[in-house]
């Protein structure tokens, strides 16, 4: 039985793939840009015109980058029979939502979605091994 554990945040995803006792630990970098808005300045006069910052184009670009990132992670999950998803912020929830909306056959294999803090690679491996040992 092939099992897959995923710890994901906006920068990277760590995957632990277990198949017949063999473990494979993979890191997938996201490529999602962190944007910082510049602008919103005022004119020199008290009631002069203001520049409006268009957040929508940044948010739309980020949404497309996240979707591409999720596709690369999901490629590793396609052959898994049991999936566990972990993460520190909201990215793990977005991955879960993407799976449920667009990849229902893979979403049916999800056994747990949990919030976890940032961890070292060894702590991640131990967390996922323990989960799969307790929940075969």
Residue-by-residue pLDDT tens, the chain, 136 positions = 799 999 999 999 999 999 988 999 999 999 887 776 555 555 566 666 555 666 778 888 888 999 999 999 999 999 999 999 999 988 999 999 999 999 999 999 999 999 999 889 999 999 999 998 888 7
Q: Does residue 47 fall inside a structural domain?
A: no
6, 95 contact by CB (below 8 A): yes
Question: What pLDDT was estimated at residue 47?
Answer: 66
DSSP SS3 for 111: strand
Q: Does residue 9 fall inside a structural domain?
A: yes
- Number of helices (H) and strands (E), helices first, in the chain? 4, 5
**117: domain CATH number?**
3.30.420.60
Instruction: Give 37's contacts (C-beta < 8 A, 6+ positions apart).
Output: 53, 55, 58
Structural domain including 72 reads 2-32+53-134
Question: What pLDDT was estimated at residue 62?
Answer: 86
Q: Does residue 39 fall inside a structural domain?
A: no
Question: How many structural domains comprise the chain?
Answer: 1
């Amino acid at each position: 039985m092939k099992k897959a554990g995923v710890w994901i945040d906006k920068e990277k995803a760590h995957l632990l793939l277990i198949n017949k006792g063999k473990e494979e630990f993979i890191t997938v970098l996201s490529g999602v840009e962190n944007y910082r808005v510049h602008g919103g300045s005022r004119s020199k006069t008290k009631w002069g015109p203001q520049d409006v910052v268009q957040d929508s184009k940044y948010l739309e670009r980020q949404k497309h980058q996240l979707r591409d990132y999720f596709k690369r992670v999901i490629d590793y999950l396609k052959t898994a029979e049991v999936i566990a998803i972990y993460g520190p912020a909201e990215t793990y929830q977005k991955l879960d939502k993407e799976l449920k909306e667009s990849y229902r056959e893979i979403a049916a294999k999800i056994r747990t979605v949990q919030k976890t803090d940032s961890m070292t690679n060894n702590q991640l491996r131990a967390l996922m091994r323990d989960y799969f040992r307790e929940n075969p």
